[in-house]
A and B are shown apart, each in its own frame.
Chain A
């Protein structure tokens, strides 16, 4: 039997579709309503609440917590002060990405970390290898549930329940009390919108959920499933493990592995020349930057609307624009005199309702990654392969000011 999240009793009656899927062995709703687009617009128009409890969650405590994370995480966790969160990744010795996640610096000697796949043993082994004695790494996956409250009204919902959300800057973190329950609130999310995530003790899940529902009534707070979330994350330019990259640990060959730079995360290492950090994969990453050995980069790809219309129109059919979200590989070709000259591929594709055009996350050789570079994306038109003009575009595709704007309390 699949496991259920701490919120299952609350969300189970809300799923109008009767469809459930497994996420790391937990039962979750891919969508709650028949209209996926309605769910999607809860994120962009009102407020959406999503149960992301199936993420693996780890807690690092003790004076060894920071040295351990500094060694393991590729991004400089030293720059993540108490009360801050940080999007990060960790790599193997060869500089290939194992996982990404968000690290939360709760207090001086306590960090929380989310991960898509298990990593407890990995972190514990590294602590042992480093000889760190005063660090405890705990798997708190079952101890906490996580709710993401995302969308332009997310703050308006949350401020009714706690005062700690309002002062939070983007990636800020605070402890707070919601419905009498201790929670950790972070101004983070996977939607590229204004939003918060709440770490809630599993035994408090029902109380916090119910309080949120009451607070959300006037704001169209809508439970959303994983598909709407994944649609939004493409617009936000956020990569999905399992779609846009894979854990290097489970690869068979290096062609399946990717470095942070190849994933477009070179910005995590801008200060590498100045810091003496000794993290796993550093020498490989340095060599990659120095010798320019990156095989590709991960970029945004904006599909030319007119050309997309054309290929379908010429075939006598309507171009699909409604709720097309795909994690299947789509080949990309150079626009040259040689037909079908392979260049790369799109790993995620979305016909964005808000942006009114198809967008994709793509892997392209370095000579094609400059914004504005033109390539051909392969689509299937009545089972025939066709190519559509597309242009490299800086990620994210959608980046509203409210995502990072300072909030002011409605009463203050």
Chain B
């Protein structure tokens, strides 16, 4: 057998954070390799041609939070980054009612005013204060968070700086941030709105990907998290990468290689090699090994600490935190190839309606009932769906005149009480399809192909524990200083030279790249001579 290959840095996992991390390390001159278990990089951000001519965003399907620094630092535009605006939010209600918001703020005012003038006014105010809160938090999104349990003077000073910053915020901004931390989305929405369809539209951001209903306390922060991004500087707006999010990770892969990094696919890692508390490389699933002083796990915290290394070699408190770290995936994807656009009665043929998010969430109660099923250990009989007919934006996603539709479906608990996901796969597909049929009569007849991706599939295929799309819930107990564990939130691990950069580290999930970027800063900083 040949001698193990020698690198400066090995990144385990070719998800978007692994790629971002590797690109930064390679740019800094480190001989870097990304090891991806599957045949393609991208992790949960991939696009696959499952039916000839039909490109599916199998898992992740929209962009907003990509850190702007990364775009510049890694020269992503040169490598093909192109994000199209998701200008529409379509929210069907009951009995033919709907909300359809677009790119014009006054047109949106009148659309909401059609349901409630007071809500239309409140919507402007809420939008502004949410943007202000998001802007206030941004500096802390884009830096390595302090270690809140350390007595190191540097960390103590950083915590003091954080507290001083929060104290210095405009009281209105600080109070609203507090409400997001303390309250459910529904409680906040009750302060602003009277119309249920309007509330439900906003509430969807508070439950996406989380085991939380709109009346669960955690939904406030989840909502804020999804408003932390922007589209071309417009706060809280989302976009669609040309070719889907797989198109975006291909851009990142090109950046890695342009900086001299190496990408290996079909290269599953069995474990990290370490000796005397120092990382030495990795052992591959095929039995081979690679050596490097820096090993970075872009996997989720459970994989990083419980599988890649022996937890017995780690401090007990860290292992305890990782054991308690909540994954509890509750979301699935059902993707469709369609022979024609869905038809909403009264809006037939309106492609613009689908150039953004179509939310099947007609009321707060609907969402709560969907969540009640989840708590009972079954998937929602009337699920919340977040859909996008991406071929209305990007004609290369489907053959001319045909369409692909991505449907994010909740709630679908990873742990089913009385069944298993292999049994329930088609039942879930049928339930989602029937729900769409209810709002878009004739939908079923237009289905050419259907792909059902359960939380178990997400875990098996992508490697995200329990299928949690964020690599761990976005709850306060698992964010910032606590992500993934207090004291271990700065991308280092107890093993020298072994780092973490997945979405289970700060700033967290969604296609963002922040963890990959900040971990690279830490790694490169640690290599500087003291």
Contact yes or no, B118 A124, CB < 8 A: yes
Q: Residue B122 at the A interface, CB < 8 A? A: yes
Contacting pair B125 A249 (CB below 8 A)? yes
Asked if residues A249 and B120 are in contact (CB atoms below 8 Å), the reply is no
Shortest distance between the CB of B107 and any CB in chain A (Å): 5
| Proximity string of chain A (243-255) to chain B, C-beta cutoff 8 Å, 1 when within and 0 when not | 0000001101100
Residues 122-176 of B at the A interface (beta carbon under 8 Å)? 122, 124-125, 128, 132, 135, 170
Given contacts A25-B107, A118-B124, A121-B122, 15 further A-B contacts (CB under 8 A): A22-B106, A24-B109, A25-B109, A25-B110, A118-B113, A120-B117, A120-B121, A121-B117, A121-B119, A121-B121, A122-B121, A139-B117, A250-B124, A250-B128, A252-B135
CB contacts under 8 Å to A, within B160-214, are 170
Residues of chain B at the chain A interface (Cβ within 8 Å): 104, 106-107, 109-110, 113, 117-122, 124-125, 128, 132, 135, 170
The 10 closest A-B pairs by CB, nearest first: A25-B106, A118-B121, A121-B118, A121-B121, A139-B117, A25-B110, A250-B128, A120-B117, A24-B106, A25-B107
Instruction: Find out whether the CB atom of B106 lies under 8 angstroms from the CB atom of A118.
Output: no
A398 CB to nearest chain B CB (Å): 32
Residue ID in chain A nearest B128 by CB atoms: A250
Chain B positions within 8 Å of A119 at CB level? 121
Could you write out 12 A-B pairs with CB less than 8 Å apart?
Answer: A2-B107, A25-B106, A25-B109, A118-B120, A118-B121, A118-B124, A121-B119, A121-B122, A122-B121, A141-B117, A249-B128, A250-B125
Contact residues in A for B120 (Cβ distance below 8 Å): 118
Chain A residues within CB distance 8 Å of chain B? 1-3, 22, 24-25, 118-122, 124, 139, 141, 249-250, 252-253
Closest chain A residue, CB of each to CB of B119? A121
How many A-B pairs with Cβ below 8 Å? 39
Which A residue's beta carbon lies closest to that of B194? A121
B residues less than 8 Å from A24 (CB atoms): 106, 109
Question: Which residues does chain A contribute within 8 Å of B107, judged by CB atoms?
Answer: 1-2, 25
Q: A22-B104, A120-B117 are in contact. Are A3 and B122 (CB under 8 A)?
A: no
Contacts of A22 in B (CB 8 A): 104, 106
Asked if A252 and B132 sit within 8 Å, CB to CB, the answer is: yes
Bound CA–CA A391/B229 (angstroms):
46
Among A3, A120, A253, which residue has its beta carbon within 8 angstroms of that of B110? A3
User: Looking across the interface, which residue of chain A has its beta carbon closest to that of B132?
Assistant: A252
**B99 CB, nearest partner CB in chain A, Å:** 15
Cα of A141 to Cα of B170 in the assembled complex, Å: 34
In the bound complex, CA of A3 to CA of B132 (Å): 30
- Complex: A25 Cα to B109 Cα, angstroms: 8
Q: Which residues of A contact B135 (CB under 8 A)?
A: 252
Q: In the assembled complex, how far is the CB of residue B24 from the closest CB belonging to chain A, in whole angstroms? A: 32
Asked whether, in the complex, the Cβ of B104 is within 8 Å of the Cβ of A118, the reply is no
How distant is A7 from chain B, measured CB to nearest CB, in Å? 18
Name the CB-closest residue of B to A23: B106
Closest-CB distance, B346 to chain A (whole angstroms): 14
Chain A residues contacting B122 (CB-CB under 8 Å) are 121
Contact for B117 among A2, A25, A118, CB less than 8 A: A118
In the assembled complex, how far is the CB of residue B233 from the closest CB belonging to chain A, in whole angstroms? 13
Q: In the bound complex, do residue A25 and residue B124 qualify as a contact, i.e. CB atoms below 8 Å apart?
A: no
Contacts of A2 in B (CB 8 A): 107
Asked if B109 contacts A118 (CB within 8 A), the reply is yes
Residue of B104, B118, B119 touching A25 (CB-CB under 8 A): B104
Q: How far is the CB of B153 from chain A (nearest CB, A)?
A: 33
> Do A120 and B124 touch across chains, with their CB atoms under 8 A apart?
no
* B residues in contact with A121, CB < 8 Å: 117-119, 121-122
Chain B CB within 10 Å, residue with most, of A1, A249, A253? A249
Q: How far is the CA of A253 from the CA of B120 in the complex (A)?
A: 24
**Chain A residues, Cβ within 8 Å of B106:** 22, 24-25
Instruction: Give the chain B neighbours of A141 by CB distance below 8 A.
Output: 117
In whole angstroms, how far apart are the Cα atoms of A411 and B128 in the complex? Answer: 56
